[in-house]
């Protein structure tokens, strides 16, 4: 999924940069960072294919890279970067749903650190404290809510699966009794 998303973004950036025929220095930097992240994503995907077992370091490296790139672009793009604010929550929720609460909160912490760096280094965000603070609070609160909700869903799914198994066993027993006759 990472390779596809970054590939689409890279294609869009190439189109956007090349549409006027002039590549500005900042555009070279954006293309280089995105191209490097695309290469990283492809390499990580190949590593997963080559060794499909669970790898905690590989998961953490992926989360750290995802958050670092989001932080870079958000800090460099000023007001235009606001469109990628959702990325921190997308990453946090995605890792949480796929790998569990440990990853949810680890990725949440990475997003909080990254967004704090954005506030310190970005002239735009440092001038918009209340907007920054509002989103920071969102990054703190929503993952905890989603984590609790996710745990409840798992619990209910387990109960439903157990009930299904019991119902199937009862049905098999009824069918077996019916076959044996009175």
Q: Is the dihedral of CA 16, 22, 23, 27 positive or negative?
A: negative
Is residue 150 within 8 A of residue 99, CB to CB? The reply is: no
Task: Read off the pTM.
Answer: 0.80
CB contact at 8 A, 110 and 63: yes
pLDDT at position 121, please? 96
Per-residue pLDDT tens listing for the chain (182 residues): 889 988 988 888 888 888 888 888 888 888 999 999 999 999 999 999 999 999 999 999 999 999 999 999 999 888 888 888 899 999 999 999 999 999 999 999 999 999 999 999 999 999 999 999 999 999 999 999 999 988 898 899 999 999 999 999 999 999 888 888 76
Residue 46: what pLDDT? 94
pLDDT at 84: 85
- The two structure tokens encoding residue 43: 């390499």
Residues 107 and 67: beta-carbon distance below 8 Å:
yes
> Rounded to an integer, what distance in angstroms lies between the CA atom of residue 162 and that of residue 155?
11
Of 151, 120, 147, 123, which Cα lies nearest the Cα of 136?
Answer: 120
CB 93 within 8 A of CB 136: no
Q: Measured at the alpha carbon of residue 65, what is the angle toward residues 73 and 53, in degrees to the nearest 5?
A: 150
């Amino acid at each position: 999924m990472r390779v596809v998303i970054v590939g689409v973004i890279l294609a869009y950036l190439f189109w956007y940069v090349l549409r006027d025929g002039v590549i500005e220095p900042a555009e070279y930097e954006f293309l280089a960072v995105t191209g490097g992240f695309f290469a990283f994503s492809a390499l990580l995907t190949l590593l997963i294919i080559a060794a499909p077992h669970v790898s905690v370091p590989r998961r953490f490296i992926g989360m750290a890279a995802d958050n670092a790139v989001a932080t870079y672009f958000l800090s460099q793009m000023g007001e235009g970067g606001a469109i990628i604010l959702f990325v921190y929550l997308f990453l946090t929720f995605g890792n949480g749903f796929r790998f569990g609460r440990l990853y949810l909160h680890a990725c949440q912490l990475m997003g909080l650190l990254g967004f704090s760096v954005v506030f310190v280094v970005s002239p735009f965000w440092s001038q918009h404290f209340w907007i920054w603070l509002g989103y920071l609070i969102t990054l703190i609160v929503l993952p905890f809510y989603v984590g609790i909700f996710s745990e409840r869903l798992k619990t209910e799914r387990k109960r439903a699966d157990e009930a299904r198994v019991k119902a199937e066993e009862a049905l098999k027993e009824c069918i077996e009794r019916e076959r044996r006759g009175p």
